[in-house]
Amino acid sequence: MFFKQFVVEGMGCLSYLIGCPQRKVACVVDPKRDVQDYIATARKNGMRIAHVFETHIHADHVSGNRELQSRTGAEICFMEGTPAKFEHREVKEGDVMDLGSVRLQFIKTPGHTPHLMSILVTDRNRSDEPWFVLTGDCLFVGDVGRPDLAGDELLEEQVRNLYQSLHEKLGKLPDSMEVFPAHGEGSLCGKGMSSKPSSTIGFEKKTNPVLSLGWEEFHREFTSGFPERPKSFSHIIATNVEGPPLLERCPVARDLTPRQVKMEMERGAVVLDARDSAAFGGVHIPGSINIGLANQTANWVGMVIDPQAEIILVVYDEKDYEAMCAQLHRIGYDNVIGYLAGGIASWQEMGFPLGRLRQLSVEELREGLERGGYDYIFDVRTSAEYSVGHIKGIEHLPLTRLLEEPPKIPKGKEVIVICGSGYRGNIAASFLQGIGLHRVYSLAGGMKAWVAAGYPVAKD
């Protein structure tokens, strides 16, 4: 049997290529939208991709199922009842499918979504007993799937389904069976996933804190609150239900002159500046949002920018442009209408207005605090980060909440934003500039720089 796990760093998306080289056939489970990796790997190992299996309708990334079907002719398969509106095959609980020496058996494990399935995988060259299970978003390494994405009206049913799937379906599998989930660290589909990409049923029973909860505790835990739901989730779900458009049908991005960028902004286009914090702070297009190119860029874009927005990119070079487009396409942000040709230098050469976001040093912040402080200072890290260590007296306002409910600050007031290293601080500060505040500063290096300088830290 051939088996390979693929990881989308930052987003925590895990997908799989499984096949039988002897029979030259393979399948892909839960594919990301950019599918060339699967095609190249299958071709290198002499296999054709015949099937695409989706454990469920995903909320955090647009699937590559139709992309793979278009390029390989693969059949797309879901658990019966899944509300996908495009051509696909349904499998039922207990169905078995053989791909040469590989045997797949399908188990309905609802809870994260109403029609989620897990897949038992057997390598019949080695044994007739299943070797591992692909658990989708039911069981993760160190966590379980969140049950709230189907909507408040189904939450009670989903919580009960999730408990039953974990204990009566997956929990009854042999302790030695390996577990390969659809998500890992960085995903917003759970609360505290491990960075380890696989586990076993037995190890999760012993160490996964959720699996030790009785029904009453479990019910209380999973009806009391969940991670923030990005703006992009509803859009991604709808896209995956209708059928993701092929990437070749996405608008062809143009290299835009500064004048064209200015005109598009006046029409409502969003300028997404993907340069690093220092470069954006030095000079940028007024009104642009700074989300630097990094592993978790897609998650933050999904928090800040409307999925239907027309987007113009500001990047360093063509390589960064292509990397940024790949991240945007993974979450269904296909309306990238162009990029600023010549970069920010071309904007400066035209003499158009310039924005700046001052990067306040930790020394300046300390001195300012000693003089009596500033009008507003926000620590935009998560609650867990804040409780480990923060600057005494600084208001805690997590970035997700700041974006959802911007603080009411009179124009002309001084605002300082602090995060872990400066990345999220620039997102928050550029967002506040975009809603009309001008005296906004980001702490250069964030709390990492503050701690490195030896300045005092308070703890909860």
If one counts every other C-beta atom within 10 angstroms of the C-beta of residue 230, the result is 24
Which of the four pLDDT bands, split at 50, 70 and 90, describes residue 123?
very high
Q: What residues are paired with 272 via a beta bridge?
A: 289, 313
> Per the structure block, which two tokens stand in for 413?
């007031």
Q: At which residue do the structure tokens 């590559």 appear?
A: 64
Strands 89-91 and 358-360, by their bridges, are unpaired
Decide: 136 and 113 in contact? Cβ < 8 Å: no
Tell me the fold of 250-349. Oxidized Rhodanese; domain 1 (3.40.250)
Q: At which residue do the structure tokens 């970035």 appear?
A: 399
Q: At which residue do the structure tokens 């479990």 appear?
A: 218
Class of domain 358-452: alpha beta
What CA–CA distance (Å, rounded) separates 352 from 266? 14
Strands 132-136 and 117-123, by their bridges, are antiparallel
Residue, of 447 and 149, whose pLDDT is higher: 447
Q: Which residues contact 230 (CB under 8 A, 6 or more apart)?
A: 60, 188, 299, 302, 303
Strands 2-8 and 13-20, by their bridges, are antiparallel
Query: What pLDDT score was predicted for residue 235?
Result: 94
If one counts every other C-beta atom within 10 angstroms of the C-beta of residue 28, the result is 30
What CA–CA distance (Å, rounded) separates 3 from 19? 7
DSSP state of 165: I
> By mean pLDDT, which of 240-249, 274-283, 420-429 is the weakest?
240-249
Residue 216 has pLDDT above 90, yes or no: yes
Query: What pLDDT score was predicted for residue 140?
Result: 95
DSSP letters of 66-102? HHHHHHH-PEEEEETT----SS-EEE-TT-EEEETTE
What CA–CA distance (Å, rounded) separates 167 from 185? 23
Could you tell me the CA-to-CA distances from 423 to 346, 419, 446, 448, 458 in Å, in that order? 25, 7, 8, 11, 22
Tens digit of each residue's pLDDT (9 = 90 or more) over 75-85: 999 999 999 99
> Per the structure block, which two tokens stand in for 382?
């998560």
What CA–CA distance (Å, rounded) separates 66 from 71? 9
Model confidence, pTM: 0.87
What CA–CA distance (Å, rounded) separates 313 from 284? 12
Mean pLDDT of 396-406: 92
Helices 36-44 and 65-72: crossing angle in degrees, nearest 10, is 50
What CA–CA distance (Å, rounded) separates 16 from 357? 42
Q: Which residues contact 74 (CB under 8 A, 6 or more apart)?
A: 27, 28, 49, 50, 51, 52, 68
Tens digit of each residue's pLDDT (9 = 90 or more) over 317-339: 989 999 999 999 999 999 999 99
What CA–CA distance (Å, rounded) separates 20 from 18? 7
> Per the structure block, which two tokens stand in for 150?
């189907």
What CA–CA distance (Å, rounded) separates 77 from 90? 6
Share of the chain above pLDDT 90, in %: 85
Q: Is there a common fold for 2-233 and 358-452?
A: no
If one counts every other C-beta atom within 10 angstroms of the C-beta of residue 212, the result is 11
Backbone dihedral region of 290: left (phi > 0), alpha (psi from -120 to 50 degrees) or beta?
A: beta
If one counts every other C-beta atom within 10 angstroms of the C-beta of residue 176, the result is 12
Residue 251 has pLDDT above 70, yes or no: no
**What mean pLDDT, rounded, does the chain reach?**
93
Mean pLDDT of 349-365: 95
What CA–CA distance (Å, rounded) separates 150 from 447? 37
What CA–CA distance (Å, rounded) separates 302 from 62? 12
Specify whether domain 2-233 bears CATH 3.60.15.10: yes
* Three-class SS state of 9: coil
DSSP letters of 353-398? --B--EEE-HHHHHHHHHHT--SEEEE-S-HHHHHH-B-TTPEE--
To the nearest 5 percent, what fractions of the chain are helix, strand and coil?
35, 25, 45
Residue 416 has pLDDT above 90, yes or no: yes
Going from N- to C-terminal start, the domains of the chain cover: 2-233, 250-349, 358-452
What CA–CA distance (Å, rounded) separates 424 from 291? 8
* Three-class SS state of 20: strand
What CA–CA distance (Å, rounded) separates 36 from 71? 10
Tens digit of each residue's pLDDT (9 = 90 or more) over 172-211: 999 999 999 999 887 776 666 788 999 999 999 999 999 9
CA dihedral 421, 423, 424, 430 (to 10 degrees): 130
